[in-house]
Structure 1
Amino acid sequence: MATDWLGSVVSINCGLTLGIYQGEVSSVDHSCQTISLKQPYHNGVRCPLPEVTFSAVDIKELKFLDIHNTVNKPGTGQGAATESSFNASARRGQSNKVALPHVPNNSQSTTAPITILRRAPAASSNSRGATQATQKKSGARNGGPARTRDDECFGAGTDENMDADFDFEGNLALFDKAAVFSQMGGAGSHSGRAQHHGAPGDPRPASYRHDENILEAKPVVYRQITVPQPGGQEFCTDSGLVVPSVPYELHKRLLAAAERWGLSLERRLETTGVCSSQMALTLLGGPNRLTPKNVHQKPTVVLLCGPHIQGAQGVSCARHLANHGVEVILFLPNFVKMQESVTSEVQLYSGTGSKQVASVKDLPTSPVDLVINCLDCHENPLLREQSWYQSAADWANQNRAPVLSIDPMVGSQHRSVEAKWILSLGLPLPLAETDSRVYLCDIGIPKMVFQEVGIRYHSPFGCKFVIPLHTP
């Protein structure tokens, strides 16, 4: 009789996929070959469902842990025989069905089960996943033996009714908005205007909105650099700081004072080369152009240099560009007399293996990516009249490539090379009327050096070494 098994505690092994279930038999349906467990445990963890129903085709092994009926009376041996017959039936390889006892029509098994676990066909894997989703996986892996549970901690108090809806309106009614707004410094209204700013005679401390600054901000001083002879050409940064220009004589005194403090010409050349090459790399496209996957499209840069300090700055820039994978062509004519700084920089540049030419005829006839002009000299403006200078300037103007001029000559004379960008060093020099975009480079001059030549200085560079300058 099916009622003989009701109330018995059994362990059902459903294989590696579904795992092991334990619980009290609540119903047995002989015709449908199903068995239902109430208050089940899955792999040692309490199931969230009050009842689970199994089909005989899914049962690998069925064991009785506690037979609650008279069929297991002492001395009869009937319980052991029944368990053996259940285990033997579950292990049959042909039908894989458990011979469940006959259940009469008036038995408890007529109650519809809550959940029925069915084995999906072998060709469908999604059905099996949907079956597994009905139960929560536990820590037991691969259908291993169920873990021992501490009934004192986990065995009681788990049958609470979780279907009751939470009373949000009743809970919200317990919240006293007026009292809370009063504590926050408001007037007790619900309009949301609880903030006030300490009106005269109001004993309450001032409060502020989330977007208000509670610290008193000092006014911003935009003129943080002053020169001994104001009134010259002025520029401003992106943040509005005023950067005045300085005459060339004052700029020359500033560099001389920097050398006395230890900022030698070699260190200035290196700093100028690094900053100007970084600016050139940005103009060439930066990481969008110079990548390991773009080796067949390396940018080409031509540097036009003279036999002076400005030319040495250009050679230093050429060396750094070559070190970063740029195709560099250095134009430097063969002079009878060349400054020692230029000779040292050329020797370093030769270690990169990049190209160096002494004649304009050896320069590319097709447009290049960028031309860097370092032909001008502050000390000797008569170089413009020499043939090599004019030939190089004509080539630059006819190449149709954008031009970057580093530390160009001051004054209002007509420029031999029309530059799209101008890079000034330290402080800008007075520049002629031009459409060029002006940038300023930090060459590392300390603040005390500026003070020595009468310049009150506060760095406008912020987190950068090259910044754009705009005309007011």
Structure 2
Amino acid sequence: MDSFVSEAGLVVPAVTTEQMREVDRVAIEGIGPNLYQMMENAGRNLALSCVEMLGEGWATSSVVVLAGTGGNGGGGICAARHLANHGGQVTLVVSDVERLAGVPAEQLALFRASGGRLAAIGDLGTLETSLTVDAVLGYSLAGAPHGAAADLIGWMSQGPAPVVSLDVPSGVDATTGEAPGVHVRAATTMALALPKTGLAVDATGEIWLADIGIPAGVLERARVRPPPAGLFSKGYRVRLSWSS
């Protein structure tokens, strides 16, 4: 899918994995925003999406955040901290805490300071949740998920709670939309910066796009079409649709 459409009728161009990787490179190595800023923006937007999905009295509902060890996981950890800071009942499960490094590790330290609960994969069978956050795998999926990531995805797939996925449902190829192995079927997917071409599949559920602060100059240097002017004029997130 080359493009999606906002509720206001604006056509939003989609990007492949390689295009998004170049956007991130230009931002992080040159113009900005840096990885920490983008991760913080992504996490805050994701937390707000969770609050909206749960509705009034959300803070009394249990939320389980499943996070991988990369940038997508860091965004999920950030969202968990924002929810905990605002009184949410949050449990975080990381696929491999020992592998966290850099900004995602910093996000985990902040989450610990928030007072949220950090649980192990072995605790999944005991957890109850009203909403599950999928931040296990991002747009860089290569082949079928395996190991701890596959375990987390399998738990989400078997659970009754709705799932909100960050950027792309874990296990779904962000470029093609194919799922080479176990994958998440999300109720909602919150894409970051630009929708990915592979999101035009049923596994994504309702699609929202979040502004994470990437300026037009970054997209221009990365040779990527920018979103239309005014797309985020009414807020930092917009709902998108697609048609087959």
TM above 0.5, one fold?
yes
Three-state SS of the structure 1 residue aligned to 2:145 is helix
Three-state SS of the structure 1 residue aligned to 2:91 is strand
1:434 to 202, 220, 224: 202
Three-state SS of the structure 2 residue aligned to 1:328 is strand
Three-state SS of the structure 2 residue aligned to 1:393 is helix
Deviations 1:194-253 (A, max 9, x none): xxxxxxxxxxxxxxxxxxxxxxxxxxxxxxxxxxxxxx4321011100012111111111
Counterpart of 2:108 in structure 1 is 346
> Is the Cα contact below 8 Å between 1:439 and 1:469 reproduced in 2?
yes
Deviations 1:87-109 (A, max 9, x none): xxxxxxxxxxxxxxxxxxxxxxx
Counterpart of 1:268 in structure 2 is 38
Three-state SS of the structure 2 residue aligned to 1:302 is strand
Q: What pairs with 1:31-430 in structure 2 (closer than 5 Å)?
A: 232-259=1-28, 260-285=30-55, 288-290=56-58, 298-359=60-121, 361-363=122-124, 365=126, 367-379=128-140, 381=142, 384-386=145-147, 388-408=148-168, 409-410=173-174, 411-414=176-179, 416-430=183-197
Distance 1:434 1:335, change over 3 A: same
Amino acid at match of 1:394: G
Q: TM-score, structure 2 length as denominator?
A: 0.87
Once the two structures are TM-superposed, the CA of residue 318 in structure 1 deviates from its matched residue by 0.4
Once the two structures are TM-superposed, the CA of residue 281 in structure 1 deviates from its matched residue by 0.6
Amino acid at match of 2:217: M
Q: Which of 238-247 and 432-441 deviates more? A: 432-441
Whole-Å Cα distance in 2 between the matches of residues 448 and 245 of structure 1?
A: 17
> Is the Cα contact below 8 Å between 1:403 and 1:421 reproduced in 2?
yes
**Where do 5+ consecutive residues of structure 1 fail to align?**
1-231, 291-296
Whole-Å Cα distance in 2 between the matches of residues 282 and 380 of structure 1?
A: 28
> Is the Cα contact below 8 Å between 1:303 and 1:372 reproduced in 2?
yes
> Is the Cα contact below 8 Å between 2:67 and 2:136 reproduced in 1?
yes
Three-state SS of the structure 1 residue aligned to 2:160 is coil
Distance 1:389 1:244, change over 3 A: same
Whole-Å Cα distance in 1 between the matches of residues 98 and 52 of structure 2?
A: 36
Whole-Å Cα distance in 2 between the matches of residues 455 and 380 of structure 1?
A: 21
Whole-Å Cα distance in 2 between the matches of residues 379 and 426 of structure 1?
A: 15
Once the two structures are TM-superposed, the CA of residue 367 in structure 1 deviates from its matched residue by 4.5
Amino acid at match of 1:238: E
1:466 to 228, 237, 243: 237
More helix by share: 2
Whole-Å Cα distance in 2 between the matches of residues 364 and 324 of structure 1?
A: 26
> Is the Cα contact below 8 Å between 1:309 and 1:339 reproduced in 2?
no
Distance 1:246 1:282, change over 3 A: same
Whole-Å Cα distance in 2 between the matches of residues 405 and 384 of structure 1?
A: 16
Whole-Å Cα distance in 1 between the matches of residues 187 and 96 of structure 2?
A: 28
Q: Give the total of aligned pairs.
A: 231
Counterpart of 1:445 in structure 2 is 214
Q: TM-score, structure 1 length as denominator?
A: 0.46
Once the two structures are TM-superposed, the CA of residue 425 in structure 1 deviates from its matched residue by 0.6
> Is the Cα contact below 8 Å between 1:305 and 1:312 reproduced in 2?
yes
> Is the Cα contact below 8 Å between 1:406 and 1:424 reproduced in 2?
yes
Three-state SS of the structure 2 residue aligned to 1:379 is coil
Counterpart of 1:190 in structure 2 is none
> Is the Cα contact below 8 Å between 2:13 and 2:225 reproduced in 1?
no
> Is the Cα contact below 8 Å between 1:329 and 1:354 reproduced in 2?
yes
Whole-Å Cα distance in 1 between the matches of residues 88 and 69 of structure 2?
A: 23
> Is the Cα contact below 8 Å between 1:334 and 1:358 reproduced in 2?
no
Three-state SS of the structure 2 residue aligned to 1:439 is strand
Whole-Å Cα distance in 1 between the matches of residues 95 and 26 of structure 2?
A: 32
Whole-Å Cα distance in 1 between the matches of residues 36 and 71 of structure 2?
A: 10
Amino acid at match of 1:372: V
- Between the two proteins, what is the percent identity of the paired residues? 26
Amino acid at match of 1:304: L
Three-state SS of the structure 2 residue aligned to 1:384 is coil
> Is the Cα contact below 8 Å between 1:366 and 1:399 reproduced in 2?
no
Distance 1:471 1:344, change over 3 A: same
